[in-house]
Structure 1
């Protein structure tokens, strides 16, 4: 997979404005943006859940037959055998590629693979019983009953699964919202391949291409050219885009690199269509979108099961923190009311995931008549706008605790790049003007704490060098994200508040 070097991309990024809403889009693009979008389902998560449910059903069936027929007192032998058989069955089902959304849509092909694998598992089990001379310990009636009823269960379960997947497919919930970068005859060939074998997996919105005229007509195979590649960034910020398929040959290296340098700031999967290359790689070199072979160029930073793990992590930590820290939050609220007139909370618009505007909550730390909702002027050491209580809660980051409610609302994560105020400046330049590619840090949800904060880059960012360091740390976090890294940052946050708070005013 091609990886963009964040530092190099920042330096070489085309000279254009990344500010949301600064680029006018075509009428066709605006029409797509205005249309309602139903939530989609992850194919990887569906397959994962399907495997878990199938394994649990087979295990419960095997144990239920044992409990009903076999004499009690033999659980110590049967339970490990059942669990081992179910594990082998799951491996076999994956080996025959029956746990894929494309397989779930079939009937006879799916049943043939699953039943064949189930027969193979039972044969392996019987051979194992024979070689270990355990025939006297295993009930033949139990084994035959589990085999037959297991096959019936698999057929019924797979038919139900097929019905669900077909319904979700008809509703468009399994289709990835996709745009093509490129145009002309090459894009026409790609669209034909999509329509021939991947139309159930791809919802094609249109094309973006920098070329004009005969090389790139306004309509290709019934799909409109929605704008130039630079306009795709604004388009993807205003309507969900899951996948970008590049219809360019590998030989067009400069065009491909220029396209990647522009699009790396978006939280989308970028794939290079293999139909443009005369080179033929090994099967393992390709990934597939439906039946379409593609080469991976860039991945969405957090997706599928990782998105589920992070969602659970956020909700569990936020709820736990609210319970444990509620006394501190109550005391802080009382202290703010006693210290100065005005509301307890301060609400401010900031950029969230993919530049979506969100309203974050903080404890008010400034005097009511000096509130700066746009953060046009950064808080400095000894700033007279900050109250006595405000100085303490800002230095200790207690003012950020109400953002736990933003986490529960799904607008923030516990760990992620800190959301900056819209008008925050470094050396009289807005952050996104000072740092090209700045909005790449919004490819994931912003967080209450982050990699930059635990490494000492919290508080005032009055120079371009400081905001560069913070952005580079944020990009490092995005490129190297793991749930273990989130745990590490969470544990190190209170340590950093004590050891590295010299820049927090």
Structure 2
């Protein structure tokens, strides 16, 4: 996924889901345009942590564990090959490599729907993600002063060997799973409702070589002229006839794609299916919502579906915080001379405090104090009002213009990261007055506060720095929400690298 984002220059946006329109007798209809735009993006990137999946358990384990295991096992084999004992430092490095790889590589793509293995795409993705993993481990090693404990020969060999091993393991896993799938008896399935959700599910099932599922057809109550084209051969009957068909034809799986608004009909269908041995799955039409880190969970045994949640729960939160602590400490140590020089320049340039403290919204909308080097003659704290800086703004000092152009005024925020108020990467914090203005004008504005604000973010590296007009702010918020939907440690590292690239050439820094 990260490779696709880099290649296109933007994150993949979720397609707008179909809007159900009530027809006669509670039936549902769709426009032709909605039938042509299936919500496949919603189903493609299913929630990963805690989510149910159509995949077999063995396939799930392979997709999630293959890359981390190859990384850790590769280190062990290289160390043993050099005649080095697997002592504590190498064990710790192997565990760290496993954890970081699990986040950066995420779920591997076994290219189930392609006739040929896409070598270029796979190699590009593997090399990029492995460099991110290795870079994070190097950063941790130098920050903790443990890098010298490892043999340079072992580490270099490990760095070169892992991409080759990852490519080979993906090829082997792909071929092995295809072979198993071809020898496994396919389970027969039917789908209730030939609507866009049911058709999207059908597409995903039929293109997946590892599921071992054959969709026999659809059941739908609508008249023929209201059904999608070429549905005659795939339509098995009306919804009320499902139970009889399932019993007579030995159907194994039933997927109900009816809208939630048709709850009484769904209840009647479930009652009729109690006399069958088929497994029944409900495909919820929660895709009418704008999903932010959607996942399935439980509350004391009761299943719930998260529609909007923070990406930093459980282990993800620990990894994100650990990355922030190690990164901010390392950066503060490196830039400490720069901090002193900038502070001296601010003090000599104009009267006033060196640091500018401004109240902004942080995690969950709570107020936090954010530090910056003072670059103007005024120090608005942003609570009641805030005036966006413009080109040739007479409030900006001579030295302030330089540090704003080079983003040196943002350096004290690494202290905020160390304090836990901010993160290295995340939505940029806005002044309270700005938040109160735009939360009333932009739907979903406050969702950006489901994570800690960052020193840099996806919006900033895509040209949405500065500017306070409504359209510019809409673009910034859309980028922030896409960051929440698609967060990974690899994405954070990519944003940091892009930030370095645009740091000294931002036209919007005044």
Report TM bin, short chain: 0.3 to 0.5
TM-score by length of structure 1 reads 0.44
